């Protein structure tokens, strides 16, 4: 029995990669979307949050 198993980088599950699969190196389309979505949202959240902090963090700091 050939051990042609791979580990999905999204869910960490072991699966048998299909050479014809379009979701490699992920085990399924779901995991591909999860990984891609998480990566995008993470990248998107950092500049978005940092840009909102200076304007919304100190509303009453300019009070003399
Ligand atoms: Zn997976």
The CATH number for 50's domain is 3.30.50
Task: Report if residue 1 sits inside a domain.
Answer: no
Residue 45 included in any domain: yes
Structural domain contains residue 27: yes
Output DSSP code: residue 1. Answer: -
Gap from CA of 1 to ligand 1 centroid (Å): 22
Q: Confirm whether 63 is domain-assigned.
A: no
pLDDT in tens, 20-41: 999 989 999 999 998 877 766 7
- The total number of structural domains that make up the chain: 1
* Cα 38 to ligand 1 centre (Å): 14
Domain range enclosing 13:
6-56
The answer to the question of residue 61 being in a domain is no
Q: What is the pLDDT of residue 55?
A: 58
8 Å CB contact between 17 and 24: yes
Token digits of residue 38: 């998480």
Q: What is the pTM of this model?
A: 0.52
State the distance from the centre of ligand 1 to the C-alpha of 7, rounded, in angstroms. Answer: 8
């Amino acid at each position: 029995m050939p051990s042609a198993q791979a580990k999905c980088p999204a869910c960490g599950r072991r699966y048998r990669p299909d050479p014809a699969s379009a979701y490699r190196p992920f085990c399924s389309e779901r995991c591909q979307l999860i990984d891609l979505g998480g990566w995008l949202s993470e990248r998107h959240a950092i500049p978005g949050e940092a840009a909102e902090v200076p304007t919304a963090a100190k509303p009453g700091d300019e009070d003399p």
